[in-house]
Structure 1
Amino acid sequence: MSSREHFDNQQEHFDKQNIATIVDEKKQSAKPAKSNKSQLVKRALSSHSWVGLSVSALMYLVCLSGALVVFYEEFERWEQPVIEEYDDYSTRQIHMAIERFNQRVESTPESIYVVLPTESVPRMHISGDDQEWFINQDGSLSEPPIEGWTHFLKELHINLHLPQTFGIILVGALGAMLCGLIVTGILAHPRIFKDAFIWRPKGSRRIAQVDLHNRLSVWGTPFFFMIGLTGAFIGLVGILILVSASAFYNNDREAVIDEVYGADIEVTQSIEQLNIENALQQLQMTHPNAKPIYMVVQNFATENQFLEIAATLPERLIYSEIYRFRSNGELINHQGMSDGHWGQQLAYSVYRLHFGHFAGMPVKWVYFILGLALTIVCATGVNIWLARRKFTSFINDLWVAVVWGSPLAIVLASISVMTRLSATMIFLVSTVMCIIYALWKKNPPRVKSHLQLLTALVLLVIPVWHHLHFSMSWNWSLVNAINFSLVIGSVIYFWLGLSGNRKPS
């Protein structure tokens, strides 16, 4: 073989080796890309599962109570149905109520609040220094508002009945975790939006739960993320203020609060008689679209006295704008929530956005339905994990007690409306009894059915008891609408309990 032929053979062999190496390198480079995507999905799924499982029971309680709290204004009226209701009010009525209030209290409060009747709550009440009474249409004082079942429901959602500061922070952290669960849930299921309409009700128990969990998650993602984000802000705003004060305001927390919500004012004048009528007229002239919802007499009966009127504005999400007046009714300024910088407007809009208190009853029903959907997502997430296990344990019993015992305990707590027992105590005792029963029975499907039937029975008894206790007529009203809704709920729970459903809780 000539040297030329030998060189050509060597070159051909080298080229083949080089091509093989290049092809192999391409394969190797492609593998990490696929592997990296797979690893991202696995890590997201693992994170989603562990975060969800670690806070599942608390998240479930917060979501369930949140769905109900949307109607807290209606529940407060149902809880005290004999209070006078009216749409209109007069300045004479307000002055008389303030006078009667000061006669009842031992010492005059620095700030006296008068909550005005609105379309959603056509009642009026006056308060100061934790003393409060409803106002009759003639200006006399009626019963004090009670902190009963509705108050228990709000506290369950806001701080889980834990020490207030710790509880609010914990619930805020749950809101942040909900946002994280949404993000990891999307990353863990690359086809989640493509499969948005897949439904396999005849599949295995796990498949049915997976489909229900994923479909509700996809359809409700924008709402769920908004609820988590606003809930995190409401719960963690104290920490945000503390951090901002430390970083930008030399640890002056009041300066941060004043920057976001507006600073208080100081008024020095000779003591004048409070002229509420002139203040309301001034407000009508300068801001005709403003609808007053409450007023505050600050520094009552001193030379620093002034009047604040909080009012809602049409087509705005801010909770209210606050207008300030001298005692004679002369307008001083407004707090700037409606036309301040975007941070102020955003911060003061979070409350209405989170609780759905805008645009009336239709929005409340949308929030209620989507809130129940989020509650179901919480429950099915744990159901999927339980179904994947090859065995059952006490966790199955505990979970069925949480999922179906919590609604029962909340409904039972409403007995406090007729008995004046502690709603919180009824709830806690009922919850413990449900857990003990589930652990003793060791049969989750049977326990589930029993709890559903018992809830149905209580839902049927409550409206009848409420009607008899308050001697209400059966004409159509908000109170009877709620009682009728409870009967509908009873029918649904009876159907669930009798349907022989053997799926996970």
Structure 2
Amino acid sequence: MSKPLPLIRSMSWLHAWAGLIFGWLLFAIFTTGTLAVFDDELDRWMRPELAATGPFDADRVTARLLEELPPTPRWIITLPDTRRPQASVGWFQDGSFRLRLIDPATGAELTPRETIGGDFFFRLHYRLYLPGGFGKWVVGAAAMAMLVTLAAGVLIHKRIFKDVFTFRPASSPRRAWLDGHLLAGVLFLPFHLMITYTGLAILYDTYMPAAVDRLYDGSRGSFLAELAPEPPTRPAAGRPAPPAPLEPMLDSLRRPDGSQGVRVIIIDHPGDAAALIQLHDAWDRRLVRIAQVTRFDGVTGIRLSGPEDLRPAHHVQGAMIGLHRVSFADPWIRWFYFAAGAAGSVMIATGLVLFTSRPRKDGDRFPDRVARANVGAVAGLLLACIALLWANRLLPADMPLRAPAELGCFLVVWIAAIIHGFTVPPGRGWPVQCGLSALLCIALPVLDLGSSGGYALDGWRTGDAVVIGVHLSAIIAGLGLGLISLRLRRRLRKEAT
């Protein structure tokens, strides 16, 4: 009977294989989640026709909507903020939900180019851009594997804190990759644990449905109705009535600094004598992401009810969502999240490379297959992401089905990169794909200046943080990828001589 493996050896085996099995998926989740930190900003960049407009004029907007929209039982109006300067209105018509972007100052409809926008990265991050709950389950399994891999990694590294200050890029290839892996992992270890755990916690009812099944007979709707009950409503009166002014209601909920305290306005039975107004407060400066609701009569403007006291569990869950979605943060904290997320991607990528650099037995082709898969899964994803931004500028702005075409460009480039990774040796696949990504990144500002109809140039003239941020980030990423490509090419030439 064989002796049980020592703890460290068992954890090392678990760390390596859990990281490999879920590593490609985790790299995609971390990379797209990193980009999703600035999903609203990317969405603005991908719709250059949406220029900045004036402040939100609630009464002017609602008056115009009453004239233009068909009769509907509810409007959902989203107000602009510092990250999204445009407003929107949603309503149900013919059994489907309609959404219209509107000018916040006038209520006029805005018609920018069709695009999957920055929201694509968010949806790919948390559900793999798949409908239903299957994608969430796959992402949840990967997140659990991430927690296990992190815990095992802490146990197997005895010099974990000393390794934070050790990086030897000029050493042997395996030593350099290992130093990079440890540096990216240990330096941001608290962030990696937090972001992975909160990602699981905010979808607890999806991953741990046993309590809902037991207490609510499997009815998720009943559970949500008790967790966050809808404010009471009333049937339409069937008589038209002039709406009460919205501005006094909004003013009553302004923050002490004078900033807008409302994010969403819901109007039931707009234009009817029984109209009701719900004002959902904004959470852009609050860690706990919970929608507090204040209700007003839609005709008299009388306040009917204010924010309710919520249970501690609501605040805990809201804090989890706030920490993960970084909805409370100023730009500097968002950039920290971006840097930490990028470090997580580096940690995963270097871990995948390390798996293939181990000593292997004669005739063992498995590490070579993994190395080829790494090229398309890692470098190929980066190439597909920057290709998506190029597609947003190169595809005609008035092209039918433009958003699916952007998605098609992303998938075609990624699939082509995966095929390329399997058809050439990894030593050649890495520098080619990293070099191509570097070229596209560095050239993106030039493309933007030449194809956005003055949007990019005006952005630099006016100091638009979105335009400048996208351009500088692309250049920095391009320089980093270019440096990696050059070092890999030099190593390839050195090994060939």
Shared fold, TM over 0.5: yes
In the other structure, the counterpart of 2:386 is 411
Q: Which moved more, 1:486-495 or 1:55-64?
A: 486-495
CA distance in 1, matches of 2:114, 2:319: 28
In the other structure, the counterpart of 1:28 is none
Checking the alignment, whether the CA contact within 8 Å between 1:269 and 1:303 is kept in structure 2 is: yes
Checking the alignment, whether the CA contact within 8 Å between 1:148 and 1:417 is kept in structure 2 is: no
* Amino acid in the other structure paired with 1:219: L
In the other structure, the counterpart of 1:93 is 60
CA offsets 1:208-243 (integer angstroms, 9 cap, x no match): 222222232222121111111111123443344x42
Pair member with larger Rg: 1
Q: What pairs up with 1:223-234 in 2 under 5 angstroms?
A: 223-234=191-202
In the other structure, the counterpart of 1:44 is 11
In the other structure, the counterpart of 1:352 is 322
* Amino acid in the other structure paired with 1:329: G
In the other structure, the counterpart of 2:160 is 192
Is the alpha carbon distance of 1:163 and 1:359 closer, same or farther for their aligned partners in structure 2, counting shifts above 3 Å?
closer
Is the alpha carbon distance of 1:441 and 1:285 closer, same or farther for their aligned partners in structure 2, counting shifts above 3 Å?
closer
1:464 aligns with 2:439: no
Q: Which moved more, 1:207-216 or 1:192-201?
A: 192-201
Is the alpha carbon distance of 1:437 and 1:305 closer, same or farther for their aligned partners in structure 2, counting shifts above 3 Å?
same
Checking the alignment, whether the CA contact within 8 Å between 1:117 and 1:123 is kept in structure 2 is: yes
In the other structure, the counterpart of 1:61 is 28
CA offsets 1:15-41 (integer angstroms, 9 cap, x no match): xxxxxxxxxxxxxxxxxxxx99x7222
CA deviation after TM superposition for structure 1 residue 370, in Å: 0.3
CA deviation after TM superposition for structure 1 residue 156, in Å: 1.5
Query: Out of 498, 501, 504, which is 2:486 matched to?
Result: 498
In the other structure, the counterpart of 1:478 is 465
CA deviation after TM superposition for structure 1 residue 194, in Å: 4.9
CA distance in 2, matches of 1:251, 1:149: 35
CA distance in 1, matches of 2:330, 2:448: 26
CA distance in 1, matches of 2:114, 2:278: 26
Is the alpha carbon distance of 1:424 and 1:269 closer, same or farther for their aligned partners in structure 2, counting shifts above 3 Å?
closer
Query: Out of 162, 185, 200, which is 1:217 matched to?
Result: 185
The alignment's C-alpha RMSD in Å is 2.9
CA offsets 1:302-349 (integer angstroms, 9 cap, x no match): 56642121213654432542222221322233454xx41221112223
1:135 aligns with 2:135: no
Structure 2: gaps spanning 5 or more residues: 396-401, 493-497
CA deviation after TM superposition for structure 1 residue 118, in Å: 1.0
In the other structure, the counterpart of 1:323 is 294
Checking the alignment, whether the CA contact within 8 Å between 2:115 and 2:392 is kept in structure 1 is: no
Please report the TM-score for the alignment, with normalisation by the length of structure 1: 0.83
Checking the alignment, whether the CA contact within 8 Å between 1:198 and 1:211 is kept in structure 2 is: yes
CA distance in 2, matches of 1:73, 1:178: 27
CA distance in 1, matches of 2:274, 2:172: 71
CA deviation after TM superposition for structure 1 residue 86, in Å: 3.4
Checking the alignment, whether the CA contact within 8 Å between 2:280 and 2:294 is kept in structure 1 is: yes
* Amino acid in the other structure paired with 2:420: Y
Checking the alignment, whether the CA contact within 8 Å between 1:124 and 1:134 is kept in structure 2 is: yes
Q: What pairs up with 1:32-431 in 2 under 5 angstroms?
A: 39-86=6-53, 88-102=55-69, 107-129=70-92, 130-136=97-103, 137-143=105-111, 146-240=114-208, 242-267=209-234, 270=237, 272-275=241-244, 276-284=246-254, 291-301=261-271, 305-312=275-282, 314-327=285-298, 328-334=300-306, 336=308, 339-390=309-360, 392-418=367-393, 419=395, 420=402, 422-431=405-414
CA deviation after TM superposition for structure 1 residue 362, in Å: 0.3
Checking the alignment, whether the CA contact within 8 Å between 1:459 and 1:490 is kept in structure 2 is: yes
In the other structure, the counterpart of 2:434 is 452
SS in 2 for 1:162: coil
CA offsets 1:112-155 (integer angstroms, 9 cap, x no match): 12111212222222222332222223222121674424232222
Checking the alignment, whether the CA contact within 8 Å between 1:97 and 1:135 is kept in structure 2 is: no
* Amino acid in the other structure paired with 2:382: P
* Equivalent pairs, count: 461
In the other structure, the counterpart of 2:399 is none
Is the alpha carbon distance of 1:252 and 1:183 closer, same or farther for their aligned partners in structure 2, counting shifts above 3 Å?
same
Structure 1: gaps spanning 5 or more residues: 1-34
CA deviation after TM superposition for structure 1 residue 63, in Å: 0.5
Is the alpha carbon distance of 1:498 and 1:179 closer, same or farther for their aligned partners in structure 2, counting shifts above 3 Å?
same
CA distance in 2, matches of 1:247, 1:159: 26
Is the alpha carbon distance of 1:382 and 1:239 closer, same or farther for their aligned partners in structure 2, counting shifts above 3 Å?
closer
CA distance in 2, matches of 1:218, 1:108: 57
Query: Out of 467, 475, 479, which is 1:487 matched to?
Result: 475
Q: Which moved more, 1:398-407 or 1:383-392?
A: 383-392
CA deviation after TM superposition for structure 1 residue 59, in Å: 0.5
CA distance in 2, matches of 1:97, 1:478: 31
CA deviation after TM superposition for structure 1 residue 387, in Å: 0.8
Checking the alignment, whether the CA contact within 8 Å between 1:125 and 1:132 is kept in structure 2 is: yes
More helix by share: 1
CA distance in 2, matches of 1:83, 1:66: 25
Is the alpha carbon distance of 1:251 and 1:492 closer, same or farther for their aligned partners in structure 2, counting shifts above 3 Å?
closer
CA deviation after TM superposition for structure 1 residue 502, in Å: 6.2
SS in 2 for 1:164: coil
Is the alpha carbon distance of 1:304 and 1:256 closer, same or farther for their aligned partners in structure 2, counting shifts above 3 Å?
farther
In the other structure, the counterpart of 2:495 is none
Query: Out of 415, 435, 440, which is 2:418 matched to?
Result: 435
* Amino acid in the other structure paired with 1:265: P
Identity rate of aligned residues, in percent?
22
Checking the alignment, whether the CA contact within 8 Å between 1:400 and 1:448 is kept in structure 2 is: yes
* Amino acid in the other structure paired with 1:238: T
Q: Which moved more, 1:49-58 or 1:284-293?
A: 284-293
